[in-house]
Amino acid sequence: MSGRTGKPGMSPEEKSALLASLRGSAAPPRRKSAAPARPGGEYAHLTDFTSLPNYQRLQMQHGVSEMLQVANPFFQAHDGCPADTSSMDGVELINFASYNYLGLNGHPEVVEAAAKAMALYGTSASASRVVGGDRPIHHELEAELADFYGAEDALVFVSGYSTNVATICELMGPKDLILHDALMHNSAIMGAEYSGAARRAFAHNDPDALEDILLQCRGDYQRVLILIEGLYSMDGDIPDLARFTQIKQRHDAWLMVDEAHGLGVLGRTGRGLAEHCGLDPTLVDIWMGTMSKTLAGCGGFIAGQGALIDLLKYNASGFVYSVGLAPPLAAASLAALRILLREPERVARLQENGALFLKLANEAGLDTGSSAGMAVVPVIVGDSMRAVKLVERLRMRGFCALPILYPAVPEKTARLRFFISSTHSPEQLAAAVAATAEELKALEEAGFGVSSALSAMS
């Protein structure tokens, strides 16, 4: 796996500038742009995309990787359908980088359902459903998702990200308050910001911290929305739903649960956080989920009261002004949902595999944080470059797992994130843990990391 991008190596001047910038004494080095010089006035230099701070930060990261000879782990191509194994550059790897939790992506029934929908409806909805019309497959999927969550109705969106943004923006405004878990997904946080409502974070998975805020300021706002996840995608831990529902009832607030990673993973039959916690799902006002994980498709959905769905159907910008979900994707997700309901043993195998991986990782001395071992298990490394190097070493040993780095997580909690599936074998899980522990120990003993490597090069 090459980390090169076809660019020439760093010049001595660029290397010196990079070292200085990492010590905070200079701007990061700028690569020469292939674009011609832009004539103009006083602000012409600001029309150069390379002047953007985020671009300069990205170039700094690339420069550090190049100096440390660490390959870029991102945007690597899979040769086929990723499952418990995946072929990359013609080499089969044991795969821990996909959300294919129940092995339904590529399932013959799912593929057949998508193919039939494609033959009947084509590849696209071709317009917004508001003006271009629905397809029966949309209604079938929405009805079965609503039933899955014990809700009155549901609505599917073309994107999981826009599901959160559009829904939160439609419901909340300047006179309202949004309280979200500190580790809430970016899509929900962006929705909160765009809504114009006041926004405050509370400590991760801490109902008491949430209630403290409400006791201080509930009376200052009209509506209050509480945002939590069913299964947190970075840490793999689970909230105490009973506590959150009690708090939202005491303070007359709405509770919205993002079930992107919980659907098909939590609960005896995979019905998510409410089943896992033994609660009536109607205690939650808004269920949000995606079809891109367990349901082997794409897009997102909201399930809840009929009035909520009617409101979103006619007003939510991410639905009204966006093309409808492609019929083949709707059909694929509906088929996957039906298999999930028919074969709960897939959920049981997934939970067994997650528990085994967590147990083995802890016995090997790996830091798995607060993971519940359901499907998402981080291995916290601490140093971003060490995490990336660990990915490279694991790939050389036949494993595919990807890093999560700053700013997605704080620098000191850089990690590899292992997605477990029902199709992994115990032998695959044990081999992955053993290899990870061995390679991480070797990197730690060598002192490999950003600060130590750059010190040696300066």
Q: Would you please indicate which residues are annotated as catalytic (active-site) residues?
A: 233, 261, 293
Preceding omega of 12 cis (within 30 degrees of 0): no
**Residues paired with residue 180 on neighbouring β-strands, in sequence order:** 201, 227
**Rounded to whole angstroms, how far apart are CA atoms 44 and 408?**
32
Sheet arrangement for strand 91-95: 85-88, 91-95, 399-400
Residues 232/370, Cβ–Cβ less than 8 Å: no
Contacts of 38-46 spanning 24+ positions with Cβ under 8 A: none
Q: Around Cβ 259, how many Cβ atoms within 10 Å? A: 26
Q: What would the DSSP string read from start to end of 176-241?
A: -EEEEETT--HHHHHHHHHHT-EEEEE-TT-HHHHHHHHHHHGGG-S-EEEEEESS-TTT-----H
**Rounded to whole angstroms, how far apart are CA atoms 94 and 102?**
16
Longest dimension (CA), the chain: 67
Q: How far apart are the first and last CA of the chain?
A: 27
**Rounded to whole angstroms, how far apart are CA atoms 220 and 199?**
13
Q: Around Cβ 275, how many Cβ atoms within 10 Å? A: 18
Query: Residues 108, 109, 110, 116: is their CA dihedral positive or negative?
Result: positive
C-alpha of 91 from chain center = 26
Residues 309/153, Cβ–Cβ less than 8 Å: yes
